[in-house]
Amino acid sequence: MGRRWAGSGRWGTVAAVPVEPPPHVRLEDAVAGLSGIVGFWALPTLLSYVRLLLEVLERRGGLSAGRGVSSVRLAKAAVLTVVTAFFAYAWVRAATDLRDLQLEAPVLGPSLQGAVVGAAVYLVYSAGLSVLRRRGEHRRWERRLRGPRLG
* Region label for 101, one of left (φ > 0), alpha (ψ between -120 and 50) or beta (otherwise): alpha
Residue 8: is its pLDDT beyond 60?
no
Cβ-contact 103, 75 below 8 angstroms? no
Give the DSSP letter string of 70-93: -HHHHHHHHHHHHHHHHHHHHHHH
Q: Residue 91: is it exposed, middle or buried by C-beta count within 10 angstroms (0-12/13-18/19+)?
A: buried
Residue 62: is its pLDDT beyond 80?
no
| Length of the chain in terms of residues written | 151
The model's pTM: 0.70
Instruction: Quick: pLDDT tens for 82-111.
Output: 999 999 999 999 988 888 888 777 888 888
Report pLDDT for 1: 45
